[in-house]
Amino acid sequence: MNSEIVDSFAQMVREKGIDKDVLAGIVEDVFSMMVRKKYGQEARFEVVVNMAKGDIEIFLEREVVEVVEDPITQIDLQTAREMSGEDLEVGEDYGEVVPLESFGRRLVVSAKQNLNQRIKEIERELIYNEYSNIINDIVVGEIYQIRRNEILINHNRNELLLPKSEQIQKERYRKGDTIRALIKEVRKNSGNPVVIVSRADPTFLAKLFELEIPEMYDGIIEIRRIAREPGERAKVAVESHDDRIDAVGACVGMKGVRIHTIVRELNNENIDVINYTEQPEVFIQRALAPAKLKGIQLDKETKTADILVAEDQISLAIGRNGQNIRLASRLTGYELNVIKEGAEDEYDIELVDFKEELGEELYQKLTEIGLETAKDVIDADLDTLRAVEGLDDEKIHEIREKMQRDLEEAEVEEDEETEEVKAEGGTPSPELEESVSEETDEDETEDEAEEVEAKGVSKDDASSEQASKEVKKDE
């Protein structure tokens, strides 16, 4: 029986990776508990576990006395001599080997349950330690179950969890696929630790760069900042610690072979790689590429920047749905405000259009202090807004950011509509019809004047001559 128990323990050592000495300690504790349940807390005993030989022995130690008062801790002289076969004396200790069968089925089952519980605790601790030591590292696993809000991945017989929030939204996953992901977090709970992995975290992108670019793995090139919208677009600021190596060129690789490997891994996510600099103006200009900027006005205290952009570059600067300027803002750490060059009247939105987001009560309070448009709220003094009940700094920042984003997107839509009208020769929208017609009339007048002057007659002389001809015709 002893041999069978130790053989099962040896199998646990091989399958679970539990240290032999740790397992031997657990066995000793479990059997010690079993002895105390049978003989009481005062019993003196020793449990010897020999994992190499496959042997477990339990020795119950009792004192040799003439008259036994406590049979658990004492034994009479005659019985001790008969059982040991030795010439023992009063006051000496007698060690009796206790067979496992003597404990009975009930104690053995209890010990087995206790042992299983202790083994599970060790397994949980091993899993927690294993993955806690590789947080922010990439692992490769196999998808074995796809649920509505999460994907379960098998990695070294351990279960990893890829939540919906950590997935690349446009990716499609199938059972049995091999997948790479970043170890993001390890949580302890009542069962096995929950290992959270991610493909949407910016660190996952950084680790992919390290895997594909030797100079980055060696520390010659360093990623300073990352801004990312998973599956859509990312901006990566890199810096070279060796003047002979171009950081951007090394990341892109010959004919883009290095960056294309990363792009394919991220479901064709667009990646802009730019050179990092400590100069905010230059960094902002690089971050807003491919748009060309006319000027930048910084406020380093409030971390805001006003960007002057030509009319034909504003859509590039803002990007589709404001994506380019949003990523550039995250990358640089500055709140970027795009200003169209030569704009006489700035676009604005009535505050009533934000009534649903603000709520009826907050909307009324803002209008009561004279704020009627989005621009009024954005330009309002901070202390004035703080005085409004229900507004704190975080809420004010959230409202202003929402209004600024809507203003920028509305301006881009207006510019795109104007360009479309000019390109296709179609009918402009009611808002643009008046300005377009005025430009057309002015162009026709200028063309007429140029034609007349080309013939050597001024515009006024030509009009007089035409009137004279009409009078003669009537006569």
Q: Residue 319's Cα: distance from chain center in Å?
A: 23
Q: What's the pLDDT at 13? A: 60
Q: What's the pLDDT at 423? A: 39
Which range is least confidently modeled, 49-53, 353-357, 470-474? 470-474
Q: What's the pLDDT at 8? A: 61
Q: At what angle do helices 2-16 and 20-39 cross, to 10 degrees?
A: 140
The amino acid at 137:
D
Residue 152, strand partner residues: 145, 161
State which of 34-48, 323-337, 340-354, 434-448 shows the largest mean pLDDT: 323-337
Please check whether residue 15 is in contact with residue 104, taking contact to mean a CB–CB distance below 8 angstroms: no
Going 61 to 63 to 66 to 71, the CA torsion angle's sign is negative
**3-state secondary structure string, the chain?**
CHHHHHHHHHHHHHHHCCCHHHHHHHHHHHHHHHHHHHHCCCCEEEEEEECCCCEEEEEEEEEEECCCCCCCCEEEHHHHHHHHCCCCCCCCEEEEECCHHHHHHHHHHHHHHHHHHHHHHHHHHHHHHHHHCCCCCEEEEEEEEECCCEEEEEECCEEEEEEHHHCCCCCCCCCCCEEEEEEEEEECCCCCCEEEEECCCHHHHHHHHHHHCHHHHCCCEEEEEEEEECCCEEEEEEEECCCCCCHHHHHHCHHHHHHHHHHHHCCCCEEEEEECCCCHHHHHHHHCCCCCEEEEEEECCCCEEEEEECHHHHHHHHCHHHHHHHHHHHHHCCEEEEEECCCCCCCCCEHHHHHHHHCHHHHHHHHHCCCCEHHHHHHCCHHHHHCCCCCCHHHHHHHHHHHHHHHHHHHHHHHHHHHHHHHHCCCCCHHHHHHHHHHHHHHHHHHHHHHHHHCCCCHHHHHHHHHHHHHHHHC
The pLDDT of 296-323, averaged and rounded, is: 88
Q: What's the pLDDT at 346? A: 58
pLDDT category, 458, cuts 50, 70, 90? very low
Mean model confidence pLDDT for the chain: 79
CA–CA separation, 456 and 459 (whole Å): 10
| Residue closest to 28 by CA, chosen among 5, 61, 7 | 5
Which range is least confidently modeled, 250-254, 302-306, 383-387, 413-417? 413-417
pLDDT at 28 over 50: yes
The pTM (predicted TM-score) of the whole model is 0.60
Q: What's the pLDDT at 461? A: 38
| Residue closest to 25 by CA, chosen among 113, 122, 94, 103 | 122
The pLDDT of 313-327, averaged and rounded, is: 88
